[in-house]
Every structure is written in structure tokens, then in C-alpha cells.
Structure 1
Amino acid sequence: MHARPVAALAATALGITVFLAPGSASGTPEAAAQQDEPLVIAHRGASAYAPENTLAAVDLADRMGFVWVENDVQRTKDGELVVVHDDSLARTTDVEQVFPDRAPWKVKDFTAAEIARLDAGSWRGTEWAGARVPTLKQYLNRVDENNQKLLLEIKKPELYPGIEKDTLRVLGEEGWLDRRHVAGRLVIQSFGADSVKAVHQQRPDLTTGFLGTPAVADLPAYAAFTDQINPTHTSLTAEYVAAVHTLKGAHGKPLRVNTWTVNDAAGAARVDAFGVDGIITNNPDVVRDAVS
């Protein structure tokens, strides 16, 4: 991956445009690392066009040809894992209308059955009315049915002690910890370094990512328990990406960089020139066109 910017310049000089069709070698991180373009990851599904973190967003990403999707996992009052970004249900559901006396409508204060009653689509338009907040089990099954791959974020682990063990349990129950999934279809990431460490300790075979931009001097400590450093695009420089790539991660391979959340062509071209390995985006079609 270290030579990717040079290769891209060489291709440009020769007037060559490289395009990988969906489902081609770019479908795995290892294969993408050998190509001249970063992996494009649909953030919360195709969330610029469908309600985020819903099955509809996953399906739309699939129809658009995107293999990798990203999601967020939190835990309900009765211990069910659900796929939702905010720790409050207010922004993306009709919880204020259904449960008006339950402010501030925190995910952890509702049972899975209560959350299943909520409309998680109408806020994005009437055509999405009736979409639901999926459980992690439902989400995993749909991603599998679509033959997609998953960048799973454990959201706000400080609110949910032990959520790493719960997440691994559900992944195991749904068949996501077999060799095929672990080898190239699953990455678990978090903003919480301790959460990433916990996943690595409990399942050392899993690929993990840390969300953030650690100081260059601190990168070797992160490399001991993670395989990816995944920073916001506003914090990135070419020098930082190069510094990450000089180190080997927990599985003895060069650390990778997946940056977020890049939603326009100019931003995609900018981070592509830095040599990032992946771009997490709400607008995967825009980013794909910009870097292909």
C-alpha cells in the first residue's frame, strides 16, 4: 500500500484509468491494498440516499454495487444489540411521538420490543416510512444474504460495559466468526481503545480498527492490538498516512488507514492522494467515481 500514490501518478502519466467493478479484487482489504484505488465503504449503508443503519440502506448499497458497509452497534435495556448511531433515538425515529414522556429517549432505556415499534425511515422521506431499527442479528443476516462485508463499530462502549463480549456472542451465533467471515468479511472498530483491546484479547484472530488519530509517537502502542488506524479526514496528512504505513499491526501486516466521512469528489481525491487504504462515505457512488 505504501507505493499506491506513486502507482497512481504513474498511471495518470500514461493516460491509464483503472476501474475495478463491484465484487472485483477491491472487495477485500488485502486485494485493495494491491490496487491503485482505495476501498469504498458505505457509511451506515448508502446513508445519503436511504435512512442510515437500516436494512434499506444496506440493500441500496448492495444495488449500487458496494461490497463493504459500516454500521453502529448499541445495547438495549434488556440486553439486545441494535444497529443505531446516536445514543438517543430522537433524531432517527419517531420515538418522541410514540413515547412522549421518555425523554431524552436513550437507547439504553428502551427494550428491544419498544424500539421495534419505532419508525426509523419517515424522517428521511415518506418513501421510507415503516423502516425499523434492526437488531444486530437482523442486520448480520441481511449483510450475509447480500454477500456483503461489514465494518462494525461498537458505539460508545463506556455506556455498555461488556458490550464487546455481547457483540462477539451474537456474531458467533449468526455464523460470523467462522474462518470465511473472519478472514475477509469482518472488521470491528471503536473510538474506545479499551474496547478494541477487549475484542483483540477475546478474539485475537479478528481484524480490528481504532477510530481516531493517535499521535505518531503513540502509534506503536496501538499497533499491538489493532490492524487499522481510522481517522477523520480533516485530521489527515500524507505524512501521517505514511507514518501509519511504516508500522505492522496486531497480525503482522502493515497498518491500514480508512478515513471518514468523505462525501464529495474533491475530498475523496485529496485523501486518495495521501495514500489511504479505504474511504468511509455516505455517498459511495460519488467517491467511487472520484477515485476510479
Structure 2
Amino acid sequence: MHARAVAASTTALLGTAALLLPLSPARAADSGARPVVVAHRGASAYAPENTLAAVDEAAALGVDWVENDVQRTKDGELVVVHDDSLQRTTDVEEAFPDRAPWKVKDFTAAEIARLDAGSWFGPAYAGARVPTLEQFVHRVERHDQKLLLEIKNPQLYPGIERQTLKVLSNEGWLDRPHVKHRLIVQSFSADSVRTVHDLKPAVKTGFLGTPPVADLPSYAAFTDQINPSYASLSSGYVAAVHAFRGPHGRPLEVFTWTVNDADAARRVAGFGVDGIITNTPDVVREAVGG
């Protein structure tokens, strides 16, 4: 939904929201709270996205939260990569010239592990690899960071929600301290987010998108966050989201993406968002004082 339409819907429906569920307490813009800054695919303006180097760069910048994307290989390994094709961010065309269109799901974990996922970004990162989910969470843990994990293209990978939770459990990420303070699982698929909530109700979840205000009560049953593109955002929409309480009894939050300049960061912070997902976490942090 575009920002103007969102604002119009909010004006008409905010009263209805208040009748359905109690309004939240004063939020970021009113209380002086600063939004959380999340390094999108790691600090991806400064290191190749979704690599361990991008996690390290975020840590070097002092950024607590890192976002990543999870997909599944042909032989069932979970790997951290954004596109459903390996073409943009690896040398897969050179390594496997006869395997177009180079979909993640058509390659084994061993084949993907051979690929160079850094040279496209710059020679300093030549030889960087596509990490497995296990490798990625190990690096996040090493830096004592927090993880906003996106299940990417779940329609391509039946059962990926259960598998992702299993890996997180095996790596110690589903204990109480991680679940309560250091982990959010999100997706563009409402069904996927609902599945994560049903499988592991304690895990905090986020829906990527801008649902109509009238639909927010149904989302509040299974997600803790509504996470829209900043281009679709308005102060009225943020207020409408905050009016609902999620499955853990707290007001729904808004983490917006992908904000990479200071002016946009200040604008969405003024809307009262709870988090800002960005390729340039240092720029956004300085702009909002986070």
C-alpha cells in the first residue's frame, strides 16, 4: 500500500483499532526512545552482503543487530543468501557455466561452498564464501550480536520454517536469553511467519510488508512486528500498528527497510518506528542518535 493510501485508511480505521485492542503506551517519537539500528545483510554498504565479513564489519561499527536471508540448497543445507539465484553475488557463472539460471535450490552445499561471494564487491573480499546458517550464527554469537533472520522464498522450500528452527535450536539460539532478547524471525510470507509462531510460540516474529489497517487484527494473532518498506510508511500507519498487541501481549512494533541516508532515517524516526534496517548503520545511527 502506498503512503497516501495508508494514511487515509489509518484515519478511517484507527478508531476501530482502538475498539478492538488497547492503545499502546507512548512510542518512540513521543517518549524520546531511539529506534534500533539493524545492519541489513550485515553492514552491506561496506562488505559483501550476507557474508561473515559483513557481520564482522557491523561488529566493528558497534552495531548490535544483524539481518540475514536464509534459503535451502539442493541437498537440504540452509545457506545465507538473498537472491534465489546465485548469479548476482557469486562467480557461479564462471564456475558452472552450463547450469543457468543458477538457482540456489539446484546446487548442493558443497558446490555453493566453492563459490567466490566477495570479488563482485571488491578485490579485498576475493574468496569470501556463502556461509551456512550455522556458520553465520556462530559469527553473530562470537560478536555477541542479535539476529533478525529472514526466511526467503519459503514457497520454494517446503518445511524450511521447521528446519530453520531446528538449526537455531542446535546452535543454542532457542534458549530463553536468545529468544527473549536476541532473535526475530521474519518473512514476506504471512503463512511462513504464522508457521514459525505455531511451531515455536516463544520466538518473536515479523511480517515484511504493509497490510491494510483493517487486516492488522489477524496479523496480531501470530506476529510481533509489521515491517514495511520506508517508502510505504506514514506516521498514521505506524500509530495504527502500535495500537494492536501481538501474540506476546506487547504492542506491535515497526521495523522499516531499507533506509540508507540521514534524511530518510530522521523522517521515519519521527514517525515513531521501533527499528530501522539499513545498509549504512553508522549513517543511520548518527542521524537518529541510536
Same fold, TM-score > 0.5, yes or no: yes
1:6 to 30, 36, 42: 30
Match of 2:51 in 1: 54
Match of 2:177 in 1: 180
Distance 2:29 2:194 in 1: 31
Match of 1:231 in 2: 228
Per-residue deviation at 1:2?
2.9
**Does 2:83 align with 1:86?**
yes
Distance 1:85 1:185 in 2: 21
SS at match of 2:236: helix
Kindly indicate whether the alpha-carbon contact (under 8 Å) linking 1:223 and 1:255 is maintained by their aligned counterparts in 2: yes
**Does 2:97 align with 1:104?**
no
How big is the alpha-carbon RMSD for the aligned residues of Structure 1 and Structure 2? 0.8
Per-residue deviation at 1:165?
0.7
Match of 1:170 in 2: 167
Kindly indicate whether the alpha-carbon contact (under 8 Å) linking 1:265 and 1:290 is maintained by their aligned counterparts in 2: yes
Structure 1 unaligned residues grouped into runs of 5+: 9-35
What is the CA deviation profile of residues 156-205 of structure 1, one whole-angstrom value per residue up to 9, with x for unaligned ones?
10010100011011111111111111111100000000000000000001
Kindly indicate whether the alpha-carbon contact (under 8 Å) linking 1:70 and 1:152 is maintained by their aligned counterparts in 2: yes
SS at match of 1:124: coil
Distance 1:277 1:218 in 2: 20
What is the CA deviation profile of residues 97-150 of structure 1, one whole-angstrom value per residue up to 9, with x for unaligned ones?
000000000000000000000000000000000100000000011100110000
Provide runs of 4+ in structure 1 moved above 4 Å: none
Distance 2:170 2:277 in 1: 27
1:290 to 263, 278, 287: 287
2:112 to 104, 111, 115: 115
Per-residue deviation at 1:7?
3.7
SS at match of 2:223: coil
Match of 2:146 in 1: 149
Match of 1:32 in 2: none
**Does 2:256 align with 1:259?**
yes
Q: What one-letter code is carried by the residue in structure 1 that aligns with 2:26? A: H
Distance 1:122 1:254 in 2: 43
Q: What one-letter code is carried by the residue in structure 2 that aligns with 1:272? A: A
Kindly indicate whether the alpha-carbon contact (under 8 Å) linking 2:205 and 2:225 is maintained by their aligned counterparts in 1: yes
Match of 1:135 in 2: 132
1:18-97 aligned within 5 A: 36-97=33-94
Structure 2 unaligned residues grouped into runs of 5+: 1-24
Distance 2:200 2:28 in 1: 31
SS at match of 1:123: coil
SS at match of 2:217: helix
Q: What one-letter code is carried by the residue in structure 1 that aligns with 2:45? A: A
SS at match of 1:208: strand
* TM-score (normalizing by structure 2): 0.90
Number of aligned residue pairs: give it.
Answer: 265
Q: What one-letter code is carried by the residue in structure 2 that aligns with 1:46? A: A
Deviates most, 175-184 or 145-154: 175-184
Distance 2:129 2:27 in 1: 43
**Does 2:270 align with 1:273?**
yes
Per-residue deviation at 1:3?
3.7
Per-residue deviation at 1:37?
1.0
Match of 1:124 in 2: 121
Kindly indicate whether the alpha-carbon contact (under 8 Å) linking 1:2 and 1:245 is maintained by their aligned counterparts in 2: no
1:248 to 245, 249, 257: 245
